[in-house]
Amino acid sequence: MNRKKMIPILGVVLLSGSLLGYQTVVQADAPNTVNINVSQVAKLDQKLMQQAQDKLKELTGNTYTLIEGTAMKGFIGFKREDFKDDTIIYKENGKLENIGIKINYEDLNGGKYQTELEKTWEALFPGEAPKYVRISESIYFVGTISSNAKQNKQVYLKKDEQAYGVNYAPDNAPASVQKKADQVLSKLTNGKVKNGAKLDRVFVRDGKPTVYQYKYKSKSINASFAIEEKTLELLQAGVHYSNGKDAKTKKLTSDTLMKNAMRDAKTMINFDLKGYKGARGTNAWDNDQMTFTKKGAPTVTATVDAAGSFNDFIVEKYGQYLAFNENTIVGAPDEEPKLLID
């Protein structure tokens, strides 16, 4: 693959009016305050652009030409030139809101993650090396997701968490795991299983038992679950129906939700939530989720539907989050991320 030419910036270029998002044409008889405001906005954008360039230098070791990014009220966004899918957003007060960039590993020139990525790939997948890398830093994710050239293996590096690898579409699972998977799938789908359900992926962590994760899809139901190889314990299970209700989530009491969660956790993953305390998400994006904690026991996260029943449980036994929507193949930096499974 040809290396992309990185164009260094020797100074901050004065941005055009259209890039800055304000009007450059000022009437001759307009108050002087208009000119002052325009000047202030220009200085702000130049300052934030320099911050963004410094941040990219920290993360990748490279200096990039930046252009206008997504415009939002109260925020200023940038993109690297020729990289349409970048997300580089700062608040107007200068604080970083979110950065998400894709880069070929060979194009890293030092930076925050290069050495750690190389060591982690060698530890988790000896003889393999990263090819594509996505670097993210925000309140939701700090670290990298990298994949090899074949894009069938990934490594996750997250802040303050143990690195782990994901091996996609591996060889057949051990007979004991496959037998357990057949039983779980039959239970989750009430015995209505179509032929051809297969192993989707396997999570591998250095020094931890292997966890096999399956996904099943039909016209009426989607199901996913994860089985630990050593104990045959279910660490995740979710069931979603295509004809789900659109009703608003009922205002259910904490006691009712806890009672429902205990019932559904026992049914779906044979997990006892006795002694756990539950807390519901307070944001718009996590209001349908609950987190259950108990001293000395693994954290459990679950999703509640509009009727107050729980349809997805994840047991974070080793700190590994087994949600499918987190795992995407990174792909080349000039391509959209490719979902492993549609």
How does pLDDT run across 162-173, given as a tens digit for each residue? 788 888 767 678
Q: Is 147 exposed, middle or buried (0-12, 13-18, 19+ CB in 10 A)?
A: buried
Which residue reads 């304000």 in tokens? 22
DSSP per position, 194-218: -TT--EEEEEE-TTS--EEEEEEE-
Task: Report if residue 286 sits inside a domain.
Answer: yes
Say whether pLDDT at 36 is over 50.
no
Same-domain status, 185 and 304: yes
Same-domain status, 186 and 316: yes
Q: Is 315 exposed, middle or buried (0-12, 13-18, 19+ CB in 10 A)?
A: buried
Query: Measured between alpha carbons, how far is 193 from 195 in angstroms, rounded to an integer?
Result: 7
Task: Report if residue 317 sits inside a domain.
Answer: yes
Q: In this structure, is the dihedral angle defined by the CA atoms of residues 280, 292, 275 and 228, taken in order, positive or negative?
A: positive
Query: Measured between alpha carbons, how far is 29 from 22 in angstroms, rounded to an integer?
Result: 18
Token digits of residue 129: 């090396």
Say whether pLDDT at 149 is over 80.
yes
- pLDDT, average across residues 29-54: 59
Token digits of residue 105: 């590993």
62: three-class secondary structure by DSSP: coil
Which of 18-22, 60-64, 302-306 shows the lowest per-residue confidence on average (mean pLDDT)?
18-22
pLDDT tens digits for range 78-111:
999 988 889 999 998 889 999 999 999 999 999 9
Structural domain count of the chain: 2
Query: Measured between alpha carbons, how far is 183 from 185 in angstroms, rounded to an integer?
Result: 6
Task: Report if residue 234 sits inside a domain.
Answer: yes
What's the confidence (pLDDT) of residue 206?
64
34: three-class secondary structure by DSSP: helix
Same-domain status, 192 and 84: no
17: three-class secondary structure by DSSP: helix
Comparing 10 with 296, the larger pLDDT belongs to 296
Query: Measured between alpha carbons, how far is 166 from 151 in angstroms, rounded to an integer?
Result: 11
8-state DSSP, 73: T
- pLDDT, average across residues 8-14: 31
- pLDDT, average across residues 139-156: 88
Going by C-alpha positions, the residue among 236, 227, 225 that lies closest to residue 174 is: 227
Return the number of other C-beta atoms located less than 10 Å from residue 27's C-beta.
7
Task: Report if residue 137 sits inside a domain.
Answer: no
pLDDT tens digits for range 235-281:
999 998 876 544 555 678 889 999 999 999 999 999 999 999 999 98
What's the confidence (pLDDT) of residue 252?
81
Last residue within a domain, chosen from 71, 98, 125? 98
Same-domain status, 182 and 83: no
pTM for the whole structure: 0.67
CA distances from 177 to 72, 166, 298 (A): 49, 18, 22
8-state DSSP, 328: -
Comparing 190 with 31, the larger pLDDT belongs to 190
Task: Report if residue 280 sits inside a domain.
Answer: yes
Last residue within a domain, chosen from 98, 114, 149? 98
Same-domain status, 58 and 185: no
What's the confidence (pLDDT) of residue 103?
94
Say whether pLDDT at 27 is over 70.
no
Residue 183 contacts by C-beta under 8 Å, 6 or more apart in sequence? Answer: none
Task: Report if residue 157 sits inside a domain.
Answer: no
Which of 115-129, 216-230, 236-250, 292-306 shows the lowest per-residue confidence on average (mean pLDDT)?
236-250
What's the confidence (pLDDT) of residue 265?
96
Task: Report if residue 229 sits inside a domain.
Answer: yes
- Cα torsion 247, 251, 253, 258 to 10°: value is 30
Last residue within a domain, chosen from 98, 120, 150? 98
Percent of the chain residues topping a pLDDT of 90: 42
Same-domain status, 94 and 181: no
- pLDDT, average across residues 312-341: 69
Task: Report if residue 224 sits inside a domain.
Answer: yes
Q: Give the range of the structural domain holding residue 24, as residue numbers without chain letter.
A: 1-98
